[in-house]
Amino acid sequence: MKRAKTEELKTFFESLSDKYDLRVPVKLHDGTRVLGSLSEGEFAIEGGKIPQKPTSVFFPQFDEMFVVTDGDVAMAKPPAKPIMVVGMTAEDLDCLEFIDKFFAENFRDNIYYNKRDGSVVVGVSGRCGKDGEFMKIAGGKCDIELISDGECFIVHPYTDKGEGLVEKLQADECGCGGVHMEALRKESDALPKEDEETVDKASELIRQGKVTDEFWDEIATRCIACTSCNLACPTCTCFEVYDRERDGKMVRQRIWDSCQLDGFMREASGHNPSGKQLQRTRRRIHHKLAADVERWGHRTCMLCGRCDEVCPTEIGIKSVCREIVKRFS
Ligand code: SF4
Ligand code: SF4
């Protein structure tokens, strides 16, 4: 396997920007790390997960569905160039795997798959987290994984597409006979699993009906309905639909929705099945840890940590799960 320095990776991605719509981690002038093009900021592959919802690359906040002109409907077309997204963590890749499944279940969502088909996904892991923290190795679920050993990145392709691209990377072969990778895998396997255990235990308690409405009411009084948790969550897939007029044409767009808003489930009759904050807060957690377990066979919180980081009142999913386990075990 090849072992590349950060600068070599930057040159490699730059060389692919003609062929791909490149979204790499870049640092903006205010220090924020986002997924963008190399012309938008300094290449910033190190530093941990990107704060923004990484699945927004394929499921953006605003997305055009179709345009109607004089009664003729033109569906949204695939992007001019396939998307290449770089910098997804192991947890982000779990989230992407889920929303791939979500948008293909029963009805294949072409608006999503227009962007996802033909795309290239590059994961990042190892000793390149925030402040050098070790990030779990995904071991798949992407075309290429960049695994940092603290100095360089071991470049691990997992698909034919990934292999074809890595052949073009100008970097030395690692030459260690797999010793480096073995050591990094062991380090990854030894990462603490407390969050996983806590969230799984909370999921079990919720499904057993042990978590009371009084608890949800108490948590709900702290929610200010800012919607940040939904906007940051890579597995939140709810959207609403708007029709707008543009240059004499009707444009239908979909826009992310939030289950924390009063109007989320309000019906045309005025009836609102989630009219109280208690119901909305309970739903946010129950959906990912109980309803989805029944529907998909697994929870749909992949422990990325974003909702805990953005919630101004500290009721992200991990915080709430810790409280559930403490009170109801
Ligand atoms: S930690 Fe929060 S933001 Fe991340 S997947 Fe779970 S619910 Fe979504
Ligand atoms: S981020 Fe926190 S306060 Fe904001 S809507 Fe979500 S739970 Fe409520």
- Mutation to probe ligand 2, out of 274, 301, 310, 315 (largest number of atoms < 8 A from CB): 315
- Look up the pTM and report it: 0.96
Please check the confidence at residue 30 and state whether its pLDDT lies above 80: yes
Tell me which residue has its CA closest to atom 3 in ligand 2: 223
By mean pLDDT, which of 68-72, 100-104, 234-238, 298-302 is the weakest?
A: 68-72
Q: Quick one: which of 245, 253, 240, 229 has its CA closest to 308? A: 229
Q: Which atom number of ligand 2 is nearest to the Cα of residue 314?
A: 2
pLDDT at 243: 95
**Atom number, ligand 2, closest to the C-alpha of residue 284:** 7
Cβ of 315: how many Cβ atoms within 10 Å? 22
CA 177–ligand 1 middle distance (angstroms): 37
pLDDT over 90 percentage in the chain:
94
CA–CA dist 16, 142 (Å, integer): 17
pLDDT in tens, 182-226: 999 999 999 999 999 999 999 999 999 999 999 999 999 999 999
What average pLDDT does range 32-56 have in this prediction? 96
Write the pLDDT tens digit of every residue in 11-25.
Answer: 999 999 999 999 999
Give the residue-averaged pLDDT of 126-147: 96
Q: Is the beta carbon of 278 within 6 A of some atom in ligand 1?
A: no
DSSP 71-91: TEEEEPPPPSS-EEEEEE-HH
* Confidence category of residue 161, pLDDT binned at 50, 70, 90: very high
Which residue's CA lies nearest to atom 8 of ligand 1?
233
Q: What is the pLDDT of residue 181?
A: 87
- Burial annotation 238-247 (CB, 10 A radius, 16+ → b, else e): ebeeeeeeee
Residue 177 has pLDDT above 80, yes or no: no
What pLDDT does residue 173 have?
86
Q: Across-strand partners of 64?
A: 253
Give the pLDDT of residue 299.
97
Task: Indicate the residue type of 134.
Answer: F
**Ligand 1 centroid vs 116 CA: distance in angstroms?**
21
The CA distances from residue 61 to 41, 73, 223, 254, 313, in Å, are 22, 22, 22, 8, 24
> Any residues with CB less than 8 A from the CB of 32 and at least 6 apart, and which?
51
Examine the pLDDT at 178 and tell me if it is beyond 80.
no
Residue 96 CB–ligand 1 contact under 6 Å: no
> Which pLDDT score is estimated for 48?
95
Exposed / middle / buried, residue 70 (Cβ in 10 Å: 0-12, 13-18, 19+): exposed
What's the token pair of residue 39? 């012309």
∠ CA 282-297-322, nearest 5°, is 40
Q: From the alpha carbon of 227, which atom of ligand 2 is closest? A: 5
Looking at residue 60, what is its pLDDT? 97
Q: Which atom of ligand 1 is nearest to the CA of 288?
A: 7
Q: Which residue owns the Cα nearest ligand 1 atom 6?
A: 301
Banded model confidence at residue 90, pLDDT cuts 50, 70, 90: very high
Q: Find the helix or strand (DSSP H, E) in which 310 lies.
A: helix 306-310
The closest residue, in CA terms, to atom 5 on ligand 1 is 301
pLDDT-based confidence at residue 179 (cuts at 50, 70, 90):
confident
Q: What is the pLDDT of residue 172?
A: 86
Residue with token string 């990377």? 169
CA-nearest residue for atom 6, ligand 2, is 229
Average pLDDT over the chain reads 95
Give the distance from CA 12 to its chain's centroid.
24
Residue 55 — pLDDT band, cuts 50, 70, 90? very high
Decide if pLDDT at 267 tops 80: yes
Residues counted in the chain: 329
pLDDT value at residue 176 = 78
Conformation bin of residue 188: beta by default, left when phi > 0, alpha when psi is -120 to 50 = alpha
- State both tokens at 127: 């000793």
> What atom in ligand 1 is closest to the CA of residue 318?
1
